[in-house]
Structure 1
Amino acid sequence: MREEAPVYHNEKYNFYALSRYADCERGLPDWQTFQNSRGNILDIIQSGMEIPPGTLIFEDPPMHDIHRKLLVRVFTPRRIGELEPRVREFCARILDPLVGATSFDLIAALGAEMPMRVIGMLLGIPEADQAGIRDLTDEKLRTESGGRMDLSEGVMIDSGVFADYIDWRRDHPSNDLMTDLLNAEFTDENGLVRTLTRDEVLTYVTVVAGAGNETTGRLVGWIGALLARNPDARRELAADPSLIPNAIEEILRYEPPGPFMARYTATDVEFHGQTIPAGSATMFMLAAANRDPRRYTDPDRFDIHRKIGQLMTFGLGGHYCLGAALARLEGRVALDELLRRFPDWDVDWSGAKLAQTSSVRGWETLPLVVG
């Protein structure tokens, strides 16, 4: 597709697709042409459904910029950096009991657990309730083979599940994101300096909880799968952990957990002499862009020493993923802690299963054989 049909039209599912790095680099920041306000998943765009107001990931400027600046203020690099000891603690708590085992499912043990604990800690959600919220998020994205998302109850999990936490935090402030959102002052679209309403805080918390669980869990799965398939690289990382940060970048390039994102095309636009008409849904094939030979030499080779630069994995432009630094931190710590305890592993591929979802790609089960 990338070589022979850089502007691809799928008649059956009625969308256009751009798969070259330069085309994604041009199109993703252009929010006037490729709008996010109707959703960033094909099923949502084509449904024509009403997007709830204040849903940051489904907004365009100027509203998006106002809401994003507020979240950036409470989602700071310093706060993310301070999480590392706790992330290591979560990984140790999960992995230590597995030492001495001959096999375990990496997804059930770590991929589904660690991101949920980190986001729960960041938001201030009690550990006892975190698994239930994670499962609601997963269920919303899940699809049947050949089927579409169930949008009968909206695009996100019911924000009401967070209502009690927010009411509690209003009366019992703590050092967490929920408390910061409740107290942060900002200038809204009408020039009024105010704090967020309860409903606005609910929307923010729901967005953060949903975005932070699924994709990072998939990253953990790709760490396990790719380093089983590339044992020399795994042994090199075990011997020299300083190589781990760049290895995470290569894993994110090679197998991005979110391999594509969609946009509503607001005006006619031309790529490669072909017009994508206004009113179309356009898919940006991030995974293909990450392997574009015009951008990367020998792109289908997994190379933990590769000089990578700007990835498409987290998007580009105004909607660049706010959680990119957190995902990198979790991936780096997870790989480091895994290698400390299990420098050698393989995968029982007969028991491995890819998840069926609308927007992310990764392993639902990944049995590691360790020794």
Structure 2
Amino acid sequence: MTNGDLYYDPYDVDIDVDPYPTYQRLRDEEPLYYNDRLDFWGLSRFADVGAALKDLKHLSSAKGDILEVIKADPVMPPGVFINEDPPLHTVHRVLVSRAFTPRKMKALEDKIRAFCVACLEPLVGSDRFDFVADLGDELPMRAIGMLVGIPDAEQPTVRDHAQRGLRNERGKPLTVTKDKYFDGDFYADYVSWREKNPSDDLITDLLNVEFEDVSGTTRRLTKEEILIFLAVIAGAGVETTGNLFGWLGKVLAEHPDQRQQIVSDRSLIPNAIEELLRFEPPGPHVARYVTEGVEYHGQTVPAGSTLLLMLSSANRDERQFTDPDRFDIHRSISQHVTFGVGAHFCLGAALARLEGRIALDEVLNRFPEWDLDMAQARRKPTTTVRGWDSMPAIVG
């Protein structure tokens, strides 16, 4: 199926620097792409990706949602709800969603703003700050830590553990151990501490909740299930959301006229964050295991295959968005696929949006203008998320 020199590889460092021209060619020339070297199929158009995300008949999350995880086929412990199919996924998702209710988000808003202020205020008067080191590495960690009930002093350790789990050697797949993919044991001490010190947080909720499992049995969660829930939430909430902040600093520095509009009119912030999420998604793709042969563009992807859904490409599809490679804070966005679609829509979407809105508002309160020091910027060495380890800004 390879069309001449058209080649896409999610581990290719050169492609990853700017994947959008390659995505454009995939959408136009091979909307169903097959990489024979790595043995995976890929979808790149918005309509195809959206439909695949909702297709529970042919496509499964039970073997993982990362390309190399599906290939390794590791043993999935109970509770990795992002890697489950209904009805098990539905049961577990309902339990975890207790942490992400509108009431919980509202209660968290003032705390997130206060912490954001505490991060930025000491930097006022200096000539630079780092959108990742000073915000992206801090704010999501504090938000998730407060939400699940991990003590403040321990939150940096949790962040570092979550980040290490998604790092790979540049140009190579993530190393996946077949016999143990998710390590929940790391969180055992926190759960034991919360058993003795209950509070208004997710760990306490999970320790006490009774639910009906897929067999119809009413029971409480096992300790292993709770530990895995925490590992999943910490990984997604800390590492993925953290990438939003590096892109925020970079993209708005490259569009100073639009940044100035936001400075003058803060009501533009919610749509600016939405456009940023479309324009540079922190998670560029997800994968699915093909359980039944499924047809796209006149060809059948056979059962047993791995299918890569290119979210970043879908968000730049001109069949869905007018002039999609243009960043536009005034764009009317009915839907993008950054947070997924359907049963696996990201539980933390509201929290990520909230963090982004608060951070942009508070940054502009102190630094309405900035330039980038790209010579010191550092890309993140991972393929599961796409972003920066450092995005230094020059201010003042």
Aligned mates of 1:274, 1:370 — CA distance in 2: 53
**8 Å contact kept, 2:75–2:181:** no
**8 Å contact kept, 2:65–2:287:** yes
Q: Give the superposition deviation at 1:136.
A: 1.2
Instruction: For 1:15, give the aligned amino acid.
Output: F
The within-5 A match list for 1:95-174 is 95-152=120-177, 154-156=180-182, 158-174=183-199
3-state SS in 2 of match to 1:267: coil
Equivalent residue number for residue 203 of structure 2: 178
Runs of 4+ off more than 6 Å: none
Aligned mates of 1:103, 1:282 — CA distance in 2: 42
Aligned mates of 2:137, 2:294 — CA distance in 1: 40
Q: Give the superposition deviation at 1:364.
A: 1.0
**8 Å contact kept, 2:105–2:351:** yes
The within-5 A match list for 1:321-336 is 321-336=346-361
**8 Å contact kept, 1:46–1:281:** yes
Aligned mates of 2:73, 2:202 — CA distance in 1: 32
Percent of residue pairs identical: 53
3-state SS in 1 of match to 2:205: helix
3-state SS in 2 of match to 1:313: coil
3-state SS in 2 of match to 1:186: strand
Aligned mates of 1:102, 1:129 — CA distance in 2: 30
Aligned pair count reads 370
**8 Å contact kept, 1:74–1:181:** no
Residues 189-232 of structure 1: CA deviation (Å, up to 9, x unaligned):
12122221222111111111111001111001111010000001
Aligned mates of 1:106, 1:328 — CA distance in 2: 16
**8 Å contact kept, 2:212–2:218:** yes
3-state SS in 1 of match to 2:27: coil
Aligned mates of 1:51, 1:200 — CA distance in 2: 11
Equivalent residue number for residue 106 of structure 2: 81
3-state SS in 1 of match to 2:287: strand
**8 Å contact kept, 2:99–2:201:** no
Equivalent residue number for residue 63 of structure 1: 88
Give the RMSD, CA atoms, in angstroms.
Answer: 1.1
Equivalent residue number for residue 304 of structure 2: 279
The within-5 A match list for 1:293-308 is 293-308=318-333
Instruction: For 2:235, give the aligned amino acid.
Output: G
Instruction: For 1:154, give the aligned amino acid.
Output: K
**8 Å contact kept, 1:36–1:59:** yes
The answer as to 2:59 corresponding to 1:34 is yes
Equivalent residue number for residue 370 of structure 1: 395
Residues 6-30 of structure 1: CA deviation (Å, up to 9, x unaligned):
0000111111100101101111111
3-state SS in 2 of match to 1:190: coil
Aligned mates of 1:188, 1:265 — CA distance in 2: 26
Q: Give the superposition deviation at 1:52.
A: 1.3
Aligned mates of 1:353, 1:315 — CA distance in 2: 27
Q: Give the superposition deviation at 1:137.
A: 1.1
**8 Å contact kept, 1:84–1:329:** yes
**8 Å contact kept, 1:41–1:358:** no
Instruction: For 2:181, give the aligned amino acid.
Output: V
For normalisation by structure 2, the TM-score amounts to: 0.91
Unpaired segments of 5 or more residues in structure 2? 1-25
Distance verdict in 2 for CA 1:313–1:192, change over 3 Å: same
